[in-house]
Amino acid sequence: MNAIVCENLTRRFGRTPALQELTLTVPEGSIYALLGPNGAGKTTTLKLLLNLLRPSRGTARVLGLASTALRPADFRRIGYVSEDQLLPEWMNVAQLLAYCRPFYPQWDDALAARLRKQFDLPSDRALKHLSRGMRMKAALLSTLAYRPELLVLDEPFGGLDPLTRDDFVHGLLELAGDDRPRTVLLSTHDLDDIERLADHVAFLAESKLLLAEPADALRGRFRQIELTGTAPAACAAANRPAAWLGWREPSPTVVQFVDSSYVGGRTEAALSVRFPGARLEVRPMTLRQIFLALAREQRAAAQEAA
């Protein structure tokens, strides 16, 4: 069962494409990270999914409903927290919760109280007098308290200090059982916290989807390869597989690249055959490293095309 299904989702602002042909599936129960540099189309994707924007082409289904047919009542099942959302900042946290509560029949006061304590939010200070991180926490609190089936977070870590970010991630991770939204979709270009939070990732760049898969599978198929004692000329550019990214030759006898189709054992054997006598070093990559490798490759390709 999938929480979100996009097919060829496209949005243009005038002649400028903000998102092109996005086909994506977010499984129910996953924490799905939408990664990409600024301007990649992450926020546009989320706004299309929540019917805040209309697609120029393509379709999306959210919790089984066409995104363009989402009605206000459907937002009882969907939570949305964004860094650029206009909160009623004249309210304090208690007033914000009191304002939101009547809209949700499933509102859980006990959970709200517990989260407020966990987030260490003062109840009597107006939101405009709180730090940015505190405001984000307040927004998250007002969303988690009604146990949404789908939680959509748009750049939730933007501008937050490491401590607040850690609180925020912990706040999500420490939610147990029914308290935790069944599916979380978040967009970010801040990768440090995604490592421990997301179980699925998708990379967007230049308004196109580069890849989308489970984080473990991604981490499994990306490796940093270093070959020592071999001549780079042994592998001319034209002969390199497309799965090899970021080819570098730091010295005449050292070659480094990222293999995006690593298969344990088989890759090593193939490289031994291709580079006989070379010393092979294979290092696992973090999501951050994978993201950087993909982004650089994309940028280089764009520059070449230009």
Please report, as ranges, the residues that interact with another protein according to CB under 8 A: 47, 50, 52-53, 72-76, 78-80, 82, 84-88, 90, 95, 99-100, 102-105
CA distance 203 to 57: 21
- Amino acid letter at 132? R
Minimum separation from the CB atom of position 72 to another protein (A): 5
- In order of 1, 10, 30, 142, 187, the CA distances from 293 in angstroms are 32, 25, 25, 37, 19
Core vs surface per residue 143-171: b (16+ CB within 10 A) or e:
bbbbbbebbbbbbbbbebeeebbebbbeb
CA distance 174 to 186: 17
CA distance 95 to 127: 10
Minimum separation from the CB atom of position 152 to another protein (A): 8
Q: Of 62 and 169, which has the nearer Cβ to another protein?
A: 62
- Amino acid letter at 194? I
Minimum separation from the CB atom of position 78 to another protein (A): 7
Minimum separation from the CB atom of position 135 to another protein (A): 12
**Closest to 128 measured CA to CA, from 100, 83, 82, 88:** 88
Q: Of 101 and 170, which has the nearer Cβ to another protein?
A: 101
Q: Of 89 and 206, which has the nearer Cβ to another protein?
A: 89
Minimum separation from the CB atom of position 224 to another protein (A): 39
Q: Of 76 and 208, which has the nearer Cβ to another protein?
A: 76
Q: Is the distance from CB of 84 to CB of 121 less than 8 angstroms? A: no
Question: Apex CA 36: angle with CA 30 and CA 40, to 5°?
Answer: 120
Q: Of 103 and 270, which has the nearer Cβ to another protein?
A: 103
> Which helix (H) or strand (E) covers residue 204, if one does?
strand 200-205
Minimum separation from the CB atom of position 50 to another protein (A): 6
Q: What is the CA radius of gyration of the chain?
A: 22
Minimum separation from the CB atom of position 172 to another protein (A): 18
How would you classify residue 155: left for phi > 0, otherwise alpha for psi between -120 and 50, otherwise beta? Answer: left
Minimum separation from the CB atom of position 208 to another protein (A): 22
> Which helix (H) or strand (E) covers residue 267, if one does?
helix 266-274
Helix/strand/coil (H/E/C) assignment for every residue in 240-258: CCCCEEEEEEEECCEEEEE
Q: Of 80 and 262, which has the nearer Cβ to another protein?
A: 80
Q: Of 47 and 221, which has the nearer Cβ to another protein?
A: 47
Q: Of 89 and 179, which has the nearer Cβ to another protein?
A: 89
